[in-house]
Structure 1
Amino acid sequence: MPSHNGRGFMYLLHPTPELWTHVVPHRTQILYVADISYIITYIDLKPGSVVLESGTGSGSFSHSLARTIAPNGHLYTFEFHEERAKAVKKEFEEHGLSDLITVECRDVCKDGFGITNIVHAVFLDLPAPWEAISAAKEAFKQNRIGKICCFSPCIEQVQRTCASLNENGFVEIKMYECLIREHDVKTIPVYTVADAVNKIKVQQDKKRKRKDQNEQDDDNSSKSKQDPPNLYVTKTPNETKGHTSYLTFATFLPVLDDE
């Protein structure tokens, strides 16, 4: 879009959850694309899924969830802090997500979620997720398999969460960590054994020849030689980007009737 005076322009980008993650007001620490994409894939979300989220925070992950489950899914998200809950609810309304997201200010560790037998997946971003596992179990749709993910920065949190998941009958308990590692790509010449032997001979000859004669020989040899083929190689940096959190996943098994 050009400017008023025609001296400049700007690009108008279609709003996406990824762009919102870059500009979201940070009321809390947020999830980024690497963790977001892995979680959504692992807990098998799709259009029509019903999801429970606790620890709404700044709403970064909520926007990605809403896009994934649209147009006929629903997200129930809970936030303990009243002011944060009001702020994120207003943002959801401004972004046209009110029909997809229900926001509630609630201490789920003490009061539970207040919903039962309705959700397909649960995401917990809490200081003590193990205190909400039993309530999350009740929220799952009881006649089908469900998935849960707990987002925890510390390994001690993971240990207690895994113990609670096991006590509540969850299976396939696994923990992952998403780390981004960049690869620097470059090309290097590929020399044959004959090239290597010839290079050694040239170096030995240089020691026995005068400098001007050596330079002349180099010029003549470079004209007759062809450049060796190139090979693409990658190199990783010695240090990678820091730890964000541990992702603990588990599976909820459907409740079978005694009959």
Structure 2
Amino acid sequence: MDFGRDMTKTPGIVAKSNIRLVDETHLGDDPLDRELCLKANEAAKDLFFGNDYTTSKQATDNSEDEETLKLIDCSLYNEQHLPPARRLIQPNDLVVVFESFNDLNFVYATPNDIFSNRNGHFHHNDFIGKPYGCKIRSKDNEGLGFLYLLRPTPELWARSLPHRTQIVHELDASMITHYLEISPNMTVCESGTGSGAMSHVILRSIAPKGKLHTYEFNKMRVGKARKEFEGHGLGHLVQVHHRDVCGKKNLLAAKNGANSEEGIEQSAEDDALTDSATTDVDNDDMNEEEEVDDGKGGFQLGQAAAHAIFLDLPEPWLAVPHAAYTIKPNGRICSYSPCMEQTQKTVAAMKQNGFHSMRTVEARLKEYYVDEYEMETPPSDLLDIPTEEAVSLEKERQVGGTQKTKESEDKTDNDIKVNGKKRSNDSVKGPSRKILCARPFAHMRGHTAFLTFATAGNKLRPDPNASLT
């Protein structure tokens, strides 16, 4: 995806200013020139290092590191920009295929491959070199079948990806990104990885120099996720860990007795289940340097290493102590839980581990169908506000009862005016025109999950695994 590419550097105002240290030796013996050169160098140091740099140097031994002085060169300060999005589809690029309003698919544009659906057969060679958003006709069915080739975004990828687990949809994902205050170049932890839908949203927010550490206890999903991230050009922004951050294996062993035969047999049984779940995994999907889950839990990044943490786990309260140790002071944490009982346990664990300002929200999506409808223009001579004369005649009629004089009847029928114009018995209909109208869909997406947000305190928390060693 385009946001995975590194930023490009171009000369800006600073780089073109030609500001740098001036050598004082070539100015000769003129004291005015030497004084001017000295002041210019001091101004350059203040500009690049701050106003207190020169003062602090004079207060100490007035020594200046040679490597530090090299930084006073405007050519080193080029502006960084996100590279422009690629307009044309290249070989092996991810392409989202729009088949119909509710049907999205994806392909990797591979030379000589064919994508087939109910609309016909579409050759990948016709994709390569075409711009994103174009319309492609099928090679059979007399070219009546067609589809659109769309540029991949996290939202489109979430609608077309192979679902290995339930995913976080775009509404919840946008709220998570906003309330976690995720910004470029942050370090973020996510558990678990699942299908990778939320991972792509986080990666877009932390690009181009951030780092996502995503954790998944299922070995098969770890291999699939790594392969997808590399194929999308995001491998340098993410590291996928095969690890259960809750440490359930260690907790179960401690519950059954660490030295008892029952505890050992249970741990061996868990290992066997894990191995059996990954027997059908292709070797190409696995990383050669596979890390080993020691069963203790945690994120294994050290203390105060992450700016934000996102938990999408069945029992997130077990991971909260590890998250409190890993997150930076005043960092943000979010727990994604479909049940209120899970939310209550998670909030209690957050309070015990130094988090504050807890807030739980639920987002509901209401979509509207927008289309043009042809409607007749209302008549131009509608009855609006009666004149004062018409009002007075109506009052006289009510006072006089049902008896009306011929004069009053003629005046009422012929002389009453509306807005200064005589009333017309036959309304004139205006010409029809198209109006853009909106109506809500009959069904609104139901409950997805409760999102619990909290802020870490200023006090560093101890490592929960320290007591296990």
- State the TM bucket, normalised to the shorter chain: 0.7 to 0.9
Matched residues in 1 for 2:239 and 2:189: separation?
10
1:154 and 2:339 matched: yes
Q: What is the match of residue 240 of structure 1?
A: 444
Give identity over the alignment, percent: 43
CA displacement at 1:85 relative to structure 2? 1.0
Identify if the C-alpha distance between structure 1 residues 188 and 61 changes in structure 2 by more than 3 Å, giving closer, same or farther: farther
Q: What is the match of residue 254 of structure 1?
A: 458
Identify if the C-alpha distance between structure 1 residues 195 and 157 changes in structure 2 by more than 3 Å, giving closer, same or farther: same
Matched residues in 1 for 2:231 and 2:456: separation?
35
CA displacement at 1:16 relative to structure 2? 1.4
The superposition leaves residues 83-110 of structure 1 with CA deviations (integer Å, 9 ceiling, x where unpaired) of: 1111111111111111100001111101
Compare CA radii of gyration and give the structure with the larger one. 2
The superposition leaves residues 67-123 of structure 1 with CA deviations (integer Å, 9 ceiling, x where unpaired) of: 110110000000011111111111111111111000011111011111222110000
Identify if the C-alpha distance between structure 1 residues 189 and 68 changes in structure 2 by more than 3 Å, giving closer, same or farther: same
Identify if the C-alpha distance between structure 1 residues 51 and 10 changes in structure 2 by more than 3 Å, giving closer, same or farther: same
SS in 2 for 1:99: helix
Q: What is the match of residue 38 of structure 1?
A: 175
Q: What is the match of residue 132 of structure 1?
A: 319
Identify if the C-alpha distance between structure 1 residues 49 and 188 changes in structure 2 by more than 3 Å, giving closer, same or farther: farther
Q: What is the match of residue 119 of structure 1?
A: 306
Which residues of structure 2 form unaligned runs of 5+?
1-129, 131-135, 248-296, 387-423, 461-469
Q: What is the match of residue 349 of structure 2?
A: 164
Identify if the C-alpha distance between structure 1 residues 103 and 130 changes in structure 2 by more than 3 Å, giving closer, same or farther: same
Q: Please give the TM-score of this superposition, normalised by the length of structure 1.
A: 0.77
CA displacement at 1:195 relative to structure 2? 5.3
Runs of 4+ in 1 over 6 A off after TM superposition: 184-191, 231-235
SS in 2 for 1:19: helix
CA displacement at 1:169 relative to structure 2? 1.3
SS in 2 for 1:31: coil
Identify if the C-alpha distance between structure 1 residues 236 and 188 changes in structure 2 by more than 3 Å, giving closer, same or farther: farther
CA contact (8 A) 1:123 1:149 kept: yes
Matches within 5 A, 1:86-125: 86-110=223-247, 111-116=297-302, 117-125=304-312
User: Which of residues 50, 56, 68 in structure 1 aligns to 2:193?
Assistant: 56
CA displacement at 1:4 relative to structure 2? 8.4
CA displacement at 1:233 relative to structure 2? 9.0
Matched residues in 1 for 2:438 and 2:149: separation?
35
Opposite residue 177 of structure 1, the aligned amino acid is E
Which residues of structure 1 form unaligned runs of 5+?
198-218
CA contact (8 A) 1:43 1:147 kept: yes
Q: What is the match of residue 208 of structure 1?
A: none
SS in 1 for 2:334: strand
Higher RCO (C-alpha 8 Å, min separation 6): 1
Identify if the C-alpha distance between structure 1 residues 161 and 188 changes in structure 2 by more than 3 Å, giving closer, same or farther: farther
Q: What is the match of residue 107 of structure 2?
A: none
The superposition leaves residues 41-64 of structure 1 with CA deviations (integer Å, 9 ceiling, x where unpaired) of: 111111111100001000011011
CA contact (8 A) 1:181 1:240 kept: yes
SS in 1 for 2:360: strand
Matched residues in 1 for 2:143 and 2:445: separation?
40
Opposite residue 112 of structure 1, the aligned amino acid is G
Matched residues in 2 for 1:250 and 1:51: separation?
15
Alignment RMSD: 3.3
Q: What is the match of residue 202 of structure 2?
A: 65
Matched residues in 2 for 1:96 and 1:17: separation?
13
Matches within 5 A, 1:221-240: 221-223=426-428, 239-240=443-444
Matched residues in 1 for 2:385 and 2:437: separation?
20
Matched residues in 1 for 2:378 and 2:447: separation?
37
